[in-house]
Amino acid sequence: MTAPVRTEAATVAVSLGARSYDIVIGRGVLASLGVRIAALRPGAKTFIVTDENVARHVLASAEAALAHAGVATSRVIVPPGEASKSYRVFEQVCEAIIASHIERGDLVIALGGGVIGDLAGFVASVVRRGIDYVQVPTTLLAHVDSSVGGKTAIDSAYGKNLIGAFHQPILVLADTALLDTLPEREFRAGYAEVAKYGLLGDAGFFSWLEANWREVFAGGNSSGSFAREHAIAVSCRAKAAIVARDERETGDRALLNLGHTFGHALEAACGFSERLLHGEAIAAGMALAFAFSARQRLLPAAEAERVTRHLAVVGLPTTPKDIPGPLPSVDQLMDLIAQDKKVKRGMLTFVLVRGIGAAFIEAGVDQSEVRAFLSEKLAER
């Protein structure tokens, strides 16, 4: 890990009554892990769940930060990748926690990307009928999305995230220096979710990203730029506000699914493989949601093109033709969309846009118009 350049941190509050917590964002904040845990839960033991890649880069620093504050810890290291969100790995992690005598008042630490956050959070929600946990996200996607909001899950043979629970962490510690070792492709995929917050509700933030995305990617504060920290803080604030309004996704929280209907269909069509990472699918999905909204005359075509231009300039796919390898047929995509979202009398529920920063939920989208639109897009290849 690079030496901390700055320990001054930005804090974003997630306001959920008795389940409220802070997201602490900054380069080097991992060093404060033990002190913060000791302050929140004096005397608690901890159990770190992490994956092999993260362990290589970050585990020693995390353990040192805990030792520094006298916080006892043990750990389990699971293989990297979505396959670890399985019953088998879930069982291994539960048994390892119980074997290490973790009790009700102790803490799980999820040290990793969204896979580890979802797995460890779900484990924490059920072990000993539920214990607290802390998120230490190590991917950009986890910094701005999966570590915030309390959705936890593992996967079923029938689909992703089908076995899970709402379980809020008691702290999210987002050390932006940890992102320095993340493969660039993973960083770029996570950036799609950052752009999403601008596109769904904050036009000013989207304009800021158009001007400053290079500094967000570069990170590092030595030149006095805190662009990465700013982008993460704005994203977390946006997600925190939506989660505070609608913790269990009965309404507004669905806005976070902008780009996810088209995106999930493309991701599933690629078999959730290396061919198309989640964030890449979401970038294409958002560009398609804007293009589809423009086709519905909800906004000028030029504004949809502006979205495509920005996503393309950072190197993200914006249309099916950008995805390598054989593409699905329109029938396959429509089947996948129908599986993902409930269809009522030929009508789909979709997040559409009236402009950059102006997303809304539309329950009456005609399936046949989506089909016609996707046929055109697939033919572009």
Ligand X SMILES: NC(=O)c1ccc[n+]([C@@H]2O[C@H](COP(=O)([O-])OP(=O)(O)OC[C@H]3O[C@@H](n4cnc5c(N)ncnc54)[C@H](O)[C@@H]3O)[C@@H](O)[C@H]2O)c1
Quick check: 194 binds ligand X (CB under 6 A)? no
Number of neighbours of residue 345 by Cβ within 10 angstroms? 6
Smallest separation, CB 136 to ligand X (Å): 10
Q: Are strands 107-112 and 73-78 parallel, antiparallel or unpaired?
A: unpaired
Residue 104 CB contacts under 8 Å (≥ 6 apart), including other chains: 128, 129, 131
Q: Is 377 a catalytic residue?
A: no
Residue 223 amino acid letter: S
Under a CB-based contact definition with an 8 Å cutoff, are residues 76 and 160 in contact? no
- Which x/- pattern over 280-299 shows residues binding ligand X (rule: CB under 6 A)? --------------------
Question: What, of Zn ion, ligand X, none, does residue 118 touch, CB below 5 to 8 Å by kind?
Answer: ligand X
Quick check: 314 binds ligand X (CB under 6 A)? no
Instruction: Pick the catalytic residue from 186, 249, 305, 362.
Output: 249
Q: Is 264 a catalytic residue?
A: yes
Smallest separation, CB 33 to ligand X (Å): 15
Question: What, of Zn ion, ligand X, none, does residue 132 touch, CB below 5 to 8 Å by kind?
Answer: none
Size of the site for Zn ion (CB under 5 A): 1
Candidate residues 89, 141, 270, 298; the one interacting with ligand X per rule CB under 6 A? 141
Quick check: 54 binds ligand X (CB under 6 A)? yes
Smallest separation, CB 166 to ligand X (Å): 10
Instruction: Pick the catalytic residue from 85, 230, 239, 377.
Output: 239
Under a CB-based contact definition with an 8 Å cutoff, are residues 276 and 189 in contact? no
Candidate residues 186, 215, 305, 362; the one interacting with ligand X per rule CB under 6 A? 186
Q: Is 310 a catalytic residue?
A: no
Q: Helices (DSSP H) in 31-170: which residue ranges?
A: 33-40, 52-54, 60-68, 87-99, 114-126, 140-141
Question: What, of ligand X, Zn ion, none, does residue 80 touch, CB below 5 to 8 Å by kind?
Answer: ligand X
* CA pair distance 285, 128, nearest whole angstrom: 40
Under a CB-based contact definition with an 8 Å cutoff, are residues 362 and 350 in contact? yes
Segment 241 to 260, residues that bind ligand X, using CB under 6 A: none
Candidate residues 9, 22, 25, 51; the one interacting with ligand X per rule CB under 6 A? 51
Q: Is 167 a catalytic residue?
A: no
b/e code 136-166 from CB counts within 10 Å (16+ = b): bbbbbbbbbbbbbbbbbbbbeeeebeeebee
* CA pair distance 112, 187, nearest whole angstrom: 14
The SS3 of residue 158 is coil
Question: What, of ligand X, Zn ion, none, does residue 113 touch, CB below 5 to 8 Å by kind?
Answer: ligand X
* CA pair distance 27, 21, nearest whole angstrom: 20
- Which x/- pattern over 72-101 shows residues binding ligand X (rule: CB under 6 A)? --------xxx--x----------------
Q: What string of DSSP letters covers 27-44?
A: TTGGGGHHHHHHHHSTT-
Q: Is 249 a catalytic residue?
A: yes
Instruction: Pick the catalytic residue from 57, 68, 253, 275.
Output: 253
Q: Is 161 a catalytic residue?
A: no
Smallest separation, CB 208 to ligand X (Å): 23
Smallest separation, CB 122 to ligand X (Å): 9
Segment 282 to 301, residues that bind Zn ion, using CB under 5 A: 282
Residue 261 CB contacts under 8 Å (≥ 6 apart), including other chains: 285, 289, 337, 340, 341, 348, 350, 351
Whole-angstrom Cα Rg for the chain: 20
Residue that has been written with the tokens 């995805």 in this structure: 323
Strands (DSSP E) contained in the chain are 10-14, 21-26, 46-51, 73-78, 107-112, 132-137, 151-156, 159-166, 171-175, 343-344, 347-353, 359-366
Determine the length of the chain: 381
Question: What, of ligand X, Zn ion, none, does residue 105 touch, CB below 5 to 8 Å by kind?
Answer: none
Size of the site for ligand X (CB under 6 A): 29
Quick check: 364 binds ligand X (CB under 6 A)? no
Residues contributing to the site for ligand X (CB under 6 A): 51, 53-54, 57, 80-82, 85, 112-116, 118, 138-139, 141-142, 145-146, 149, 151, 160-161, 178, 181-182, 186, 278
Active site amino acids: 129, 151, 193, 239, 249, 253, 257, 260, 264, 278
